[in-house]
């Protein structure tokens, strides 16, 4: 969770402590995303043959964490803070690494040529640079601007799609949904749960995979995945539901990992069964994990230090790893390596992604946010 910073032109906002366990769980989810993407590259785009069968649900877990964090950080500050102050704080927190993700994606783009990405070889540098600049703003591009062949809204850094939806949720919160009473917010969350269930169980695919393109179907998926977890996180924070439990970080991490790696349910014949499982994870299990994580009161100890490290690393890791996965995927499809070869290279890529994220955090993200905090918000972080 972010330490909030006040502007020199508005009343100073007091800093708030972190929920370190929740930060750490974001890190665990980020690591699982990388592992999922590596195994996905070996799955020949067959969603029924994955080792981390529900790894994409980490994004839905991010959304509920974000809603909880936003409510904790800002709900009691609106008498001293304008909407623009809120937007500035969110941009200072998130946008530097959005820019870095787009730059890394551009730097590695032409190393991704091959059958997996048919448009890369024919994309002129000028068009790629234009997409890079647009990506730095997080404005999504339409399918007509695709430079890869996957119709992503952010072709240089695919995971940025979830940040686009998170920005949408931030705007919805700021423009009015923050004013809802808990009862009305509860009704909104209930309706959002039905919206999620409708797609996951009756949508015809049996999962919640998607959300990364600007077309009606993908936008439907994206908002179905966003609205319940984000605003359920807000409601969970407001209701003050906490579960105190020894070893909270280990327990929550285990619950999260197991939920992501369980086999796909129902096979190809009963798709609704897997959709129901994923909806129940998002609607019931993930709020439970957050309630347990938020109940941890300790501020030190080995597990807390591990959680703090991976919490700091989580966002840089999530937003920068995928250009490496693009290269890995292109190699897998083009050269068809053995399982041993792909495992060895995948392990190197996994460690490289962590090292790159740590370098970005310490050499770029933290210094840039500190500078922006002083220049844009009026005081040092």
**Which residue from 17, 19, 21 is spatially nearest to 29, judged by alpha carbons?**
21
Categorize the per-residue pLDDT at 299 as very low, low, confident or very high, splitting at 50, 70 and 90. low
Over residues 95-126, the pLDDT tens digits come to 999 999 999 999 999 999 999 999 999 999 99
Over residues 18-76, the pLDDT tens digits come to 789 999 999 999 999 999 999 998 877 778 878 889 999 999 999 999 999 999 999 99
More confident residue, 215 or 8: 215
Categorize the per-residue pLDDT at 1 as very low, low, confident or very high, splitting at 50, 70 and 90. very low
Helix axes 20-41 and 302-320, enclosed angle (nearest 10): 50
Q: What is the mean pLDDT of residues 280-304?
A: 89
Categorize the per-residue pLDDT at 9 as very low, low, confident or very high, splitting at 50, 70 and 90. very low
Name the region of 380 (left: φ>0; alpha: ψ -120 to 50; beta: rest): beta
Helix axes 57-74 and 216-239, enclosed angle (nearest 10): 50
- The pLDDT of residue 13 is above 60: no
CA distance 368 to 92: 9
Please, what is the average pLDDT of the chain? 92
- The pLDDT of residue 6 is above 60: no
Q: Show the tokens assigned to 352.
A: 């490289």
Q: What is the mean pLDDT of residues 303-315?
A: 91
Cα angle at 234 between 231 and 235, to 5 degrees?
Answer: 90
The total number of residues shown for the chain amounts to 381
pLDDT of residue 370: 95
- The pLDDT of residue 147 is above 50: yes
CB 183 within 8 A of CB 189: no
pLDDT of residue 320: 98
**Cβ-proximal residues to 292 (8 Å cutoff; 6+ apart), any chain:** 243, 245, 248, 251, 252, 255
Q: What is the mean pLDDT of residues 143-165?
A: 96
User: Which helix (H) or strand (E) is 186 found in, with range?
Assistant: helix 182-202
pLDDT of residue 121: 95
**Cβ-proximal residues to 249 (8 Å cutoff; 6+ apart), any chain:** 21, 24, 25, 293, 296, 303, 304, 306, 307
Q: What is the mean pLDDT of residues 226-232?
A: 98
Q: What is the mean pLDDT of residues 343-355?
A: 97
pLDDT of residue 32: 97
CA distance 70 to 67: 5
CA distance 92 to 363: 16
Q: What is the mean pLDDT of residues 313-339?
A: 96
More confident residue, 221 or 381: 221
CA distance 307 to 302: 9
pLDDT above 70 covers a percentage of the chain that reads 94
Categorize the per-residue pLDDT at 3 as very low, low, confident or very high, splitting at 50, 70 and 90. very low
pLDDT of residue 49: 79
Q: Show the tokens assigned to 354.
A: 């962590």
Domain ranges of the chain: 20-376
Categorize the per-residue pLDDT at 16 as very low, low, confident or very high, splitting at 50, 70 and 90. low
Beta strand extents in the chain (DSSP E only): none
């Amino acid at each position: 969770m972010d330490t909030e910073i006040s502007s020199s032109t508005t009343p100073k906002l007091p800093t708030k402590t972190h929920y370190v366990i929740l930060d750490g769980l974001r890190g665990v989810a980020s690591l699982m995303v990388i592992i999922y993407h590596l195994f996905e590259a070996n799955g020949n785009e067959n969603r029924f043959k994955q080792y981390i069968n529900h790894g994409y649900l980490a994004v839905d877990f991010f959304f509920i964490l974000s809603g909880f964090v936003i409510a904790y950080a800002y709900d009691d500050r609106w008498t001293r803070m304008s909407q623009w102050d809120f937007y500035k704080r969110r941009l200072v927190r998130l946008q530097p690494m959005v820019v870095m993700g787009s730059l890394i994606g551009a730097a590695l783009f032409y190393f991704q040529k091959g059958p997996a990405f048919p448009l890369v070889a024919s994309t002129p540098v000028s068009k790629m640079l234009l997409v890079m600049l647009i990506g730095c703003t997080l404005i999504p591009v339409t399918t007509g601007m695709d430079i890869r062949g996957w119709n992503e809204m952010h072709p240089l850094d695919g995971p940025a799609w979830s940040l686009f939806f998170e920005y949408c949720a931030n705007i919805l919160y700021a423009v009015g949904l923050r004013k809802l009473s808990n009862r009305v917010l509860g009704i909104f969350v209930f309706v959002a749960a039905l919206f999620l269930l409708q797609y996951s169980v009756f949508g015809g695919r049996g999962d919640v995979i998607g959300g990364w393109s600007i077309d009606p179907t993908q936008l439907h998926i994206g908002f179905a995945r966003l609205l319940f977890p984000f605003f359920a996180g807000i409601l969970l924070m407001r209701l003050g539901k906490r579960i105190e439990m020894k070893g909270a970080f280990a327990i929550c991490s285990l619950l999260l990992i197991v939920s992501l790696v369980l086999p796909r349910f129902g096979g190809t014949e009963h798709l609704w069964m897997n959709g129901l499982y994923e909806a129940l994870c998002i609607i019931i299990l993930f709020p439970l994990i957050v309630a347990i994580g938020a109940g941890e009161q300790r501020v030190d100890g080995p597990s807390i230090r591990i959680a703090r490290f991976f919490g700091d690393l989580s966002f840089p890791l999530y937003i920068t790893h995928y250009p490496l996965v693009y290269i890995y995927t292109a190699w897998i499809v083009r050269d068809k390596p053995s399982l041993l070869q792909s495992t060895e290279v995948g392990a190197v890529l996994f460690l490289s992604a962590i090292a790159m994220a740590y370098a970005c955090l310490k050499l770029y993200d933290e210094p840039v946010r500190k500078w922006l905090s002083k220049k844009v918000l009026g005081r040092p972080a």
